[in-house]
Structure 1
Amino acid sequence: MPKDSEEEIRLRAYDIWIREGSPAGRDREHWERASEELRAVACQPPALAEMSMEELGQQPDA
């Protein structure tokens, strides 16, 4: 995996962790979810890929 991709996943996983209230012991789950979110965004047409999850109307998982 390219280093840039790892950094993007790390930042997205951290954002998920913060949004969920910083729970302990769910780092793997957050990493996998971040990776899935970034893959989904990469598959979107360029205009959609630049939009945030909130702009797309998706709420973070609780």
Structure 2
Amino acid sequence: MTNKNQNIGEQELVITKIFNAPRELVWKAWTDPERVKRWWGPKGFTSPVSEIDFRVGGAYLN
């Protein structure tokens, strides 16, 4: 089976999740470093560092 959207040498991963929460709250959960620390990773893991810079050339470190 051929995927017409896939270019040779290029890989893409798409993850879809539907949240039963207001869009604004979901956005904060993904963009506020203190909130990200609370949920990032599998149960039992921690994320002691979370740095998010959405400027062009910025980084997302968790």
Which structure carries more relative contact order (alpha carbon 8 Å, separation 6+)? 1
Tell me the TM-score normalised to structure 2 length.
0.23
The structure that is strand-richer by fraction is 2
**Greater share of helix residues, 1 or 2?**
1
Q: Which protein is bigger by CA-based radius of gyration? A: 2
TM value normalised by structure 1: 0.23
